[in-house]
Amino acid sequence: MAQIGSKEVESIKVDEEKAPENDLMRSFILDSLYELANCSWIVIFFYDSVRDFQVVREIRFRVEQATGLTCSAGIAPNFRLAKICSDMNKPNGQYELANNYEKVMEFLSTLPIRKVCGIGRVSEALLQACGICTVGQLLERRAALKFCFSELSQECFLRVALGLPGRPSSSDPRRKSISTERTFTPTSSREALIEIMEDVCDMLVEDMKRAGVVGGRCVTLKLKLSSFDVLTRSETPGRLVSSREEILAITGETLDRELPNEFRLLGIRLSNLQFEDERASGEPISVSSALFIGNAYVRYSNSLNIRSGLLARKNH
């Protein structure tokens, strides 16, 4: 399995006549390049340990030739390991981890825990307090995990330490948010940024349709400065945001507050989502609405009790 990580491939034009003559490699490269046109990474499954390195190298070369953007790649036995490997030789390289238990454990033994997707600063600090700084130490000092983490987190850490893929979720599989982003040559031009924002918004709306998302109640604008610092600005308008025009109005105002900074990436995320099947059955009652209804019911019940008391007194 390989993961291609890129700084957002904005457009790729594939010349099929220049594709490799080998049918298998040709198929992999052409299909992968088409997929890369609208995403920042792609997962490819391989069955030949020799060809995979060549295919990934060719894909990276084609991306750079078509867009001028470099990308890194990871080749490993599963998605989690491939994602880690894609960070090893940034910004323009690839790393292959052999499909071998001993090699995987050797690779993980000295890998810093912060390199693992899902381990953030808070978890890192707690693990370091337990004397755990590398993935290998997760296994060596697994007894300490019991005192600081939930059973679910303990299982997750042990799966990481053993090089296993993530466990499929048994809870509601529906996504919590949906987003799209794009990298470009650094610019501070409002006109250029608005044009990019419109393209990103169009891609987001298309993704929403495919995912059955009606809209969301929180809109987040992600901006990466030319210095590579990342800004995220969230707006909660108090209503369901569903149309292209609404999203652009909110993100446009947010962008204006951050200008004239120079940016190299722009992304839009919609969260607190509502899906088509929810709309058909009616919007779910929010916590605040439930509290309001509950309080209103209590007041109504109290008024009935008072009335009952007054009537009882009159009857006497």
Identify any residues that bridge with 112 across adjacent strands, giving them in sequence order: 134
DSSP 172: -
Model pLDDT, residue 299: 42
Task: Note the CATH architecture for domain 1-99.
Answer: 2-Layer Sandwich (3.30)
Fold of 177-281: Dna Ligase; domain 1 (3.30.1490)
> For 101-168, which CATH class?
mainly alpha
Model pLDDT, residue 302: 46
- CATH 3.30.1490.100 domain span(s) along the chain: 177-281
- CATH 1.10.150.810 domain span(s) along the chain: 101-168
| CA pair distance 40, 6, nearest whole angstrom | 5
179 phi, psi to nearest 5 deg: -150, 160
Model pLDDT, residue 165: 85
The DSSP string of 195-254 is: HHHHHHHHHHHHHHHHHTEEEEEEEEEEEEETTS-EEEEEE--SS-B-SHHHHHHHHHHH
**Tokens 């794009």 found at:** 182
pTM: 0.53
pLDDT in tens, 255-289: 999 999 999 999 999 999 999 877 554 444 343 33
pLDDT band at 12 (very low <50, low <70, confident <90, very high): very low
The CA-based angle 42-44-50, given to 5 degrees, is: 135
